[in-house]
Amino acid sequence: MLGTSPFFNIKIQDSAIILQLTSDDGTNRLTRTCVVALTSAVQQLALNPRPLVITGNEKFFSAGADLAEIAALSGPDAYSFSRMGQKLMHAIETFPAPVCAAIHGYCMGGGLDLALACHRRVASPHAIFGHRGAALGLITGWGGTQRLPRLIGKAKALELFVAAEKLHAAAALRIGLIDAMETDPVSGAAHWLLIADPAANQAPSASSENQLPPQK
């Protein structure tokens, strides 16, 4: 049974599973250890799937990968880290129940890759998106270069990747990067999940808010 880790908390709310990213500094960076833990958690949740909301805190959904960690990687280690990130994104993208990212604050780099792997994205009005690797001489290896153009078109995706500009929620909504803008994106995401998967209405409610259903 899953509950908490140094990188996330998991609970049931409104018949959906809420996976909230956490970190000591609040930026929810996707370190190698974090990516491995998240992948394992998503794979275990898939054994007994319910609609899934992935969220962060009010300032950060995720700041993406840890740049200091990346800078210290050798070539083979960097390749391995890329594969680890791809495995996580694939586990989210192929999750057997609907998955929605509920985004407050900054959603950057690998954090945006994670949001793109979700089936839908709901953001608060103050959410900010970006893939700023080009400004640092980097490019994502976690699938964002494929998912983003499919979602918003090649021209807009190229702007985000090459110009490394930040995009606010209203603009993200206009170009289709997010599906809705809500003051409370977690509640908005949970509502969408119930529409996407009506069977979730039959799931046990969250009287046991901090517990997950038994795993198979």
Instruction: Give the per-residue pLDDT at 40.
Output: 96
Interatomic CA distance for residues 2 and 79, integer angstroms: 29
The conformation of residue 183, written as its DSSP 8-state character, comes to S
Q: pLDDT per position in the chain (216 positions), as tens?
A: 346 789 999 998 878 899 999 999 999 999 999 999 999 999 999 999 999 999 999 999 999 988 888 778 777 887 788 899 999 999 999 999 999 999 999 999 999 999 999 999 999 999 999 987 666 666 777 888 899 999 999 999 988 888 778 899 999 999 999 999 999 999 999 888 878 765 544 433 332 333 333 333
Tell me the whole-structure pTM to 2 decimals. Answer: 0.87
Instruction: Go through 28-67 and write b for each residue having 16 or more CB atoms within 10 A of its CB, e for each that does not.
Output: bbbbbebbebbbebbeebbeeebbbbbbbbeebbbbbbbe
Q: Which two tokens stand for residue 128?
A: 């900010």
**What fold is seen in the domain 8-208?**
2-enoyl-CoA Hydratase; Chain A, domain 1 (3.90.226)
